[in-house]
Amino acid sequence: MMLADSSAWIWSRRQAYPDLRRWFDERLEAGEIATCDQVRLELLYGTRNAAEHEQRRRELDALDTCPITPREWRRAIELQGKLAALGPDHQKAVKPADLLIAAAAEAAGVELLHYDGDFELVEQITGQPLRRLAPRGSLR
């Protein structure tokens, strides 16, 4: 099981990368892709109207969910503190939403699928399993 960050969703939907889309869709159909409410919120933000929002919401609601509870919020804050301990302004190196998504994947014990360098900074602190959708810098 993998929690797919919105970066993985967005890059896998681009027409320029049909092989990525095929790979991602195969994982979806096999039930290997999970989500969390933060990723849902980000993906729903990109809809253009109420009908599209409702359709995407139904599709996302069909996936397994990695819960975000007060425990994951506390972990995200803890991770931000650990980044701050690395030096001035290091806590700003990772977006708060990404800290929360990483905390949800970590708590659920699932791999985090992404195409976002923020998660590699988190991995240095948590050691949690990550999977990059494609090699760094290969998608444009």
Note the pLDDT tens digit of each residue in 46-55.
999 999 999 9
Alpha carbon separation from 51 to 62, 72, 126 (Å, rounded): 17, 31, 39
Residues 16-31 have a mean pLDDT of: 97
Residues 94-103 have a mean pLDDT of: 97
> Dihedral, CA atoms, 14, 131, 114, 101, nearest 10 degrees?
150
Give the architecture-level CATH label for domain 2-132. Answer: 3-Layer(aba) Sandwich (3.40)
pLDDT at 111: 98
Residues 11-36 have a mean pLDDT of: 97
Give the pLDDT band of residue 18 (cuts 50, 70, 90): very high
Residues 110-133 have a mean pLDDT of: 95
The chain-wide mean pLDDT, for the chain, equals 96
